[in-house]
Amino acid sequence: MKQSEKLLEQRRREMVETLRQYGISNSRVLEAFLRVKRHLFFPEDAVGCAYNDSAYPIGFSQTISQPYTVAIMSTLLAERCPGGKVLEIGTGSGYQAAILEAMGYQVFSVERFVGLYERAEKLFSRLGIRVLCRHGDGSLGWIEEAPFDGIMVTAGAPREPRPLMQQLAEKGCMVIPIGGYDSQQMTVIQREGDEFHRELFQQFVFVPLVGNEGWESRVF
């Protein structure tokens, strides 16, 4: 049964209140969650699941991250990188990129699955979301557009991808989950000249970052 826009808006507000209860307090992040309609990034027959605080499969063995995960990563970035150019690794459904764009960043995004890339690009165009995306190995970044004030990696990496670190601008920061297949620790890396300072946060579970500087796969 198709849900009304009024009901979806109510559920979106409830989602934001849940995020507040979880400790998300950054006003830019919360306002972006209110503005961006998460259900538009879901299959039509799954719209009813859009405002649950859970991940959801989007095909190609990928997921749209749960709202809390998107919110905490967006908060970590916003606290250290108030504006400028941001590179997202793993476009996926396009929801995280849309949140970043709503927060005022100039967003670039790389997706390794051509099917997801094409779907997201069409959705951005239809919704008027100004995100520049391309298909490629996200673990290598986007050298032609570097340097970036912020980089957000929405997949679990086995280690810090050196190309991404080198594409950070001075004082730039990268938010990235690092660890094994089963669990990763959210890590923030901030650049100061040739030095990189690290902060460690809670554990999460992400799909693997596959590529030359990530996990190996025959899929790519």
Evaluate whether 47 touches 5 at the Cβ level (below 8 Å): no
Angstrom distance (rounded) from CA 167 to CA 154: 17
- At 137, list the tokens: 């190995």
**Catalytic entry in 27, 61, 65, 109:** 65
Compute the CA torsion angle 120, 126, 127, 133 (nearest 10 deg): 30
Catalytic residue status for 65: yes
The residues with which 187 forms a beta bridge, in sequence order, are 176, 200
As a three-state string, the secondary structure of 140-173 is HCCHHHCCEEEEEECCEECCCCHHHHHCEEEEEE
Residue 131's contacts (CB-CB under 8 Å, 6 or more residues apart) are 94, 97, 98, 100, 101, 107, 108, 109, 120, 124
Residues 6 or more apart whose CB falls under 8 angstroms from that of 18 comprise 53, 67
For the record, the structure tokens of 46 come out as 């799954």
Residue at token pair 């929801």: 95
Q: Which residues are catalytic?
A: 65
